[in-house]
């Protein structure tokens, strides 16, 4: 009986350790293939080069155009998701009654649960034609439309995490502010939001990480042309969309082109993992502040 | 409420009070309008998909194989593939996820190892799904030679949803009252007997709710399956876990990428089927959650 119990505990621990093994597996797979890639291509060219043409006869491996595309779309997404998410969070946390919240929160959850390929469809076939009526020079594939749609997709994440942070602010702070004659808006903006600042920042950073790693919206609606530009009207390519493009083609395993997706993936993983760590650290801080 | 009452009862308004109250109302309206804008976007999305695709929905569309002619093409292999992959994903993720959660919640609660695993799970939950695709490509497809099979796809998705399953299972376990465990121990049951016969049955509805929500995320995933090399044109049904496959989101992506309008209509119709599938999964999850809450309340 005793040995059986110990055996079970070991089996359970092994399952829990599988998550650590997953992280290790991700790092190992990316590192091994990237290592092979950098035996042929130069690391300096990869990080600083301004041309990305691994699928052409004249191969150039400068990743900056993909990075620029990723940052451009993510910035547009954040420009939509941050203000809207924060305002929604303030409303849900400081203004809405429990009944309104019970209706609104599940609807926001639905928004977060829509598959990203559906958002891609929406960006390409609804938002882009709509924007083209306002901006005639907008290309059929561009950074603007997927950026805006991605912002809407990320909004629920920003809103729900920021709301959690605001609701963790002790009521005593609000009451003190009201007692001094402040309105709800003044209390929200000058007391609650600053008090929840580290939690709200954590939400923002996690949202950036989500935008950087988002794939299908850009794969559908942003085009597949790596170019170093800040112009949101022309087709671009993000790091994630490039990985999809190569995966869809018939690039044989073991070739240099095939390994590029692991090198790009490594860069993507390091970037998002760094953002996630900062976000977790900030969130733990606000949990401590009011624990 | 009370604050408003105090403000209303104040006999002489101070200078600037009206302006501040106008600002307050204005701000409230702007915040509410923002929320409504987000909801309007959702409504527009659903409307545009319905308007584009409803005309293509038919029994033939559900039971036909893909075709070069848009009007003859259907989603049968993709639909079967999606259901197959998701069922296998659940079959892998449920035992492993529950076991990991039981360990973290009931065994290693305060150990440093458990803390490390917790931090790791939180970070894994935020890793982009396409990175899991690269892991699946390197590990399952190549190293373990599973090829571009249903098993490789389901294994990849299982790793992807594992953090969600673990987190929701832990919550379900935490909600089981401690008195239940103590009662079981008092009768001489061992730790595992207590967990297996007392704790898990009580936590089961909560665990299943979490699993369904996790799977409803997995069923919409496209990028990791494209990365492991799932096919885009599959004119046959997957008949075993080793067989090649495609899923609804990939079929949708394939049709969206074509210029002909007829294929775009197919894409919209496929999206309707996907959303209907998602909706029914969520409905089951909500029904389960409600049942749990009612039982706790009574």
For residue B31, give the nearest of A32, A87, A215 by CB distance: A87
pLDDT tens, A228-285?
Answer: 888 888 999 999 999 999 988 877 777 888 889 999 999 999 999 999 888 888 887 7
For residue B134, give the nearest of A13, A122, A261 by CB distance: A261
Is residue A163 one of the residues assigned to a domain? yes
What lies within 8 Å, CB to CB, of A289 at 6+ separation is: A198
**Token pair of A166 as six digits:** 């605001």
Q: Distance from B54 to chain A by nearest Cα, in Å?
A: 15
Q: Sort B284 into a burial class: Cβ within 10 Å, 0-12 / 13-18 / 19+.
A: middle
Report yes or no: A103 at the B interface, CB cutoff 8 Å.
Answer: no
Is residue A4 one of the residues assigned to a domain? no
What is the model's pLDDT at position B9? Answer: 57
pLDDT of B88 higher than 70: yes
pLDDT tens, B152-187?
Answer: 999 999 999 999 999 999 999 999 999 999 999 999
Are B129 and A215 a contacting pair at CB < 8 A? yes
pLDDT of B13 higher than 80: no
What is the model's pLDDT at position B147? Answer: 84
pLDDT tens, B99-141?
Answer: 999 999 888 777 888 888 888 888 888 899 999 999 999 999 8
Measured between beta carbons, the chain A residues lying within 8 angstroms of B138 are: 29-30, 32-33, 262
Is residue A161 one of the residues assigned to a domain? yes
What is the model's pLDDT at position A73? Answer: 95
With beta carbons less than 8 A apart as the criterion, state whether A223 and A236 touch.
yes
**Pick among A5, A34, A121, A145 to test the B interface (most B CBs inside 10 A):** A121
Report yes or no: A181 at the B interface, CB cutoff 8 Å.
Answer: yes
CA distance A122 to B271: 11
What is the model's pLDDT at position A141? Answer: 92
Residue A175 belongs to what domain range?
64-289
Is residue A181 one of the residues assigned to a domain? yes
CA distance A133 to A114: 26
Are A91 and B223 a contacting pair at CB < 8 A? no
Is residue A59 one of the residues assigned to a domain? no
In this structure, what CATH number is given to the domain that contains residue A126? 1.10.3720.10
pLDDT of B296 higher than 70: no
Measured between beta carbons, the chain B residues lying within 8 angstroms of A184 are: 3, 24, 28
What is the model's pLDDT at position A229? Answer: 86
Total domains, chain A: 1
The residues facing B244 across adjacent strands are: B149
What is the model's pLDDT at position B298? Answer: 57
Are A184 and B135 a contacting pair at CB < 8 A? no
pLDDT tens, A54-70?
Answer: 888 788 888 899 999 99
pTM of the model: 0.89
Higher pLDDT, A16 or A251: A16
Q: What is the mean pLDDT of residues B77-90?
A: 94
With beta carbons less than 8 A apart as the criterion, state whether B227 and B136 touch.
yes
Q: Classify each residue of B130-148 as buried b or exposed e, where b means 16 or more C-beta atoms within 10 Å of its C-beta.
A: bbbbbbbbbbbbbeeebeb
Is residue A89 one of the residues assigned to a domain? yes
3-class state of residue B244 by DSSP: strand
Are B128 and A268 a contacting pair at CB < 8 A? yes
Q: What is the mean pLDDT of residues B22-45?
A: 90
- The answer to whether the complex's ipTM is over 0.85 is yes
What is the model's pLDDT at position B118? Answer: 87
Is residue A15 one of the residues assigned to a domain? no
Is residue A206 one of the residues assigned to a domain? yes
Domains for chain B: give ranges and CATH numbers: 61-297 (1.10.3720.10)
Q: How many A-B residue pairs are in contact by the CB < 8 A criterion?
A: 254
């Amino acid at each position: 009986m005793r040995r059986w119990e110990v055996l079970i505990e070991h089996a359970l621990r092994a399952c829990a350790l599988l998550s650590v093994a997953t992280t290790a597996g991700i790092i190992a797979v990316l590192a091994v293939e990237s290592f092979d890639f950098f035996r042929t291509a130069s690391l300096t060219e990869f990080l600083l080069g301004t041309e990305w043409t691994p699928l052409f006869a004249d191969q150039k491996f400068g990743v900056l155009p993909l990075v620029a595309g990723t940052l451009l779309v993510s910035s547009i997404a954040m420009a939509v998701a941050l203000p809207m998410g924060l305002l929604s969070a303030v409303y849900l946390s400081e203004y809405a009654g429990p009944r309104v919240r019970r209706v609104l929160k599940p609807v926001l959850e639905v928004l977060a649960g829509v598959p990203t390929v559906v958002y891609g469809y929406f960006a390409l076939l609804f938002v882009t034609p709509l924007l083209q009526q306002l901006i005639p020079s907008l290309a059929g594939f561009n950074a603007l439309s997927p950026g805006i749609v991605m912002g809407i997709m990320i909004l629920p994440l920003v809103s729900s995490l920021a709301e959690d942070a605001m609701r963790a602010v002790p009521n005593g702070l609000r009451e003190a502010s009201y007692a001094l004659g402040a309105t709800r808006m003044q209390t929200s903006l000058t007391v609650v939001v600053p008090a929840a600042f580290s939690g709200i920042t954590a939400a923002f950073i996690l949202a950036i990480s989500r935008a950087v790693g988002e794939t299908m919206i850009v794969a559908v609606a942003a085009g597949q042309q790596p170019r170093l530009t800040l112009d949101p009207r022309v087709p671009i390519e993000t790091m994630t969309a490039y990985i999809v493009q190569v995966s869809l083609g018939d690039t044989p395993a073991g070739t240099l082109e095939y390994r590029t997706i692991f090198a790009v993936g490594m860069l993507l993983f390091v970037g998002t993992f760094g953002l996630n760590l900062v976000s977790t650290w900030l969130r733990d801080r606000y949990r401590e502040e009011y624990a | 409420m009370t604050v408003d009452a105090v403000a209303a009862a104040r006999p002489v308004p101070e200078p600037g009070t009206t302006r501040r109250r106008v600002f307050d109302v204005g701000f409230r309206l702007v915040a509410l309008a923002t929320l409504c804008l987000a909801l309007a976007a959702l409504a527009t999305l659903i409307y545009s998909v319905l308007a584009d695709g409803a005309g293509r929905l038919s029994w033939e569309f559900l039971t036909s194989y893909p075709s070069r002619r848009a009007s003859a093409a259907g989603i049968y292999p993709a639909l079967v593939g999606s259901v197959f992959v998701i069922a296998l994903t659940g079959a892998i993720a449920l035992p492993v996820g529950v076991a990991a959660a039981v360990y973290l919640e009931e065994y290693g609660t305060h150990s440093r190892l458990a803390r490390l695993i917790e931090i790791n799970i939180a970070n894994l939950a935020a890793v982009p799904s396409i990175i899991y695709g690269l892991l699946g490509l390197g590990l399952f497809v190549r190293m373990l030679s599973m090829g571009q099979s249903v098993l490789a796809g389901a294994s990849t998705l299982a790793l992807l949803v594992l953090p969600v399953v673990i987190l929701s299972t832990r919550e379900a376990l935490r909600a089981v009252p401690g008195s239940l465990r103590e009662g079981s121990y008092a009768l001489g049951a061992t730790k595992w007997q207590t967990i297996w016969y007392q704790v898990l049955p009580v936590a089961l509805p909560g665990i299943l709710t979490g699993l369904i929500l996790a799977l409803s995320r997995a069923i919409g995933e496209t990028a990791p399956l494209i990365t492991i090399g799932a096919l885009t044109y599959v004119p046959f049904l997957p008949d075993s876990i080793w067989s090649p496959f495609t899923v609804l989101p990939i079929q949708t992506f394939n049709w969206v990428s074509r210029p002909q309008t007829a294929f775009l209509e197919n894409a919209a119709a496929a999206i309707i089927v996907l959303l209907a599938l998602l909706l029914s999964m969520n409905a089951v999850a909500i029904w389960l959650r409600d049942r749990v809450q009612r039982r706790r309340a009574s």
